[in-house]
Amino acid sequence: MNIATTRGTTSRAMSLPNLLTYGRIAAIPVVIGCIYAQSILDQPLWLRWVAVAIFIAAAVTDYLDGYYARIWNQQSAFGRMLDPIADKLLVASCLLMLAADGIIHGWSLWAAIVILCREILVSGLREYLAALRVSVPVTKLAKWKTTVQLIAIGFLLAGPAGDEVVPVVSMIGLALLWASAILTMYTGYDYFRAGIHHLIKEDEG
């Protein structure tokens, strides 16, 4: 790799859209740390509001990184790879922490399990199809699924702190979690069907 190529790769890796994605990943331990301190270590409830604020900022970067990448023509293979990974890390980490916290409990655990299993399934399909040089585009419904997931997690992170302000905050979060789980199953089936189609073609070829 020559110097010009190295500089070009470094420049793309440090573009604003990718920096926003890095920020989303960096927010994960802070959000989880706040909820862990409040719930497990029995620290003040205001820590949950700190977690919510940082989570909202991280969720907003999910929109902004793609927006700036498009309008500034800074789209890159690295960014396309890292962006969905950052989303999955944020969602999975928060779901696991909320389950440990007890906010997600009982039957609602199944909604979280469906979401996590779908993410693993789609990641596996994408990895295999990438080896075949087949791209599976993100659908509008999948984007709505992600939006509903993030809103649900925001409500659940507020949890007891939110319930002190509006008593149904946790219930709204759990209802939205189930809604996102239903969307997750539907979009997961779409990806699975597309993946199976290419797998059959590969075997026949």
pLDDT digits (tens, 9 = 90+) for 61-82: 888 777 666 776 766 666 677 7
**Reported pTM:** 0.85
Whether 7 is covered by a domain: the verdict is no
pLDDT tens digits, 95-129: 999 999 999 999 999 999 999 998 888 877 777 77
Q: Is 2 inside any structural domain?
A: no
Contacts of 95 (CB under 8 A, 6+ apart): 104, 112, 115, 116, 153
CATH number at residue 141: 1.20.120.1760
Q: Which of 169, 146, 134, 135 is nearest to 52 (CA)?
A: 169
In terms of residue numbers, what domain contains 38?
16-204
Domain-located, residue 40: yes
With respect to residue 4, please indicate whether it lies within any of the assigned structural domains.
no
Asked whether residue 6 is assigned to any structural domain, the reply reads no
The encoded tokens of residue 116 equal: 């996590």
Domain-located, residue 11: no
What's the structural domain count of the chain?
A: 1
| 3 lies in some domain | no
